[in-house]
């Protein structure tokens, strides 16, 4: 069972702008880019009265990323 446990890295990005809101084609482009990089969207959060959303994604934590976080001067 312990072998099934994964460590994750997370990504949060705000999409949209006060004046133009969230454009579907821009959001679709972003999500496709993230998908190619291995990110999976797990949640969105609407920022009320701002015409923006936060998109939250995760992917398995790689050994390279883990090493970079534990030894930032060696990146």
pLDDT at residue number 1: 44
Residue appearing with tokens 């999500």: 31
The whole-number pLDDT of residue 53 equals 95
3-state secondary structure of 32: helix
- For the chain, how many residues are written? 75
Which residues, 6+ apart, have CB-to-CB distance to 27 below 8 Å? Answer: 15, 55
Report pLDDT for 62: 82
Mean pLDDT of the chain: 87
Question: How far apart (Å, rounded) are the C-alpha atoms in residues 55 and 13?
Answer: 5
How far is 61 from 23, CA to CA, in rounded Å?
Answer: 30
Lowest model confidence (mean pLDDT) among 8-12, 20-24, 27-31: 20-24
């Amino acid at each position: 069972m312990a072998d099934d446990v994964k460590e994750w890295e997370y990504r949060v990005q705000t999409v949209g702008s006060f004046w133009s809101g969230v454009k579907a084609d821009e959001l679709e482009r972003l999500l496709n880019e993230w998908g190619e990089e291995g990110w999976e969207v797990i949640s969105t959060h609407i920022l009320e009265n701002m015409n923006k959303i936060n998109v939250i994604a995760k992917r398995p934590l790689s050994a390279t990323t883990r090493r970079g976080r534990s030894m930032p001067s060696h990146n």
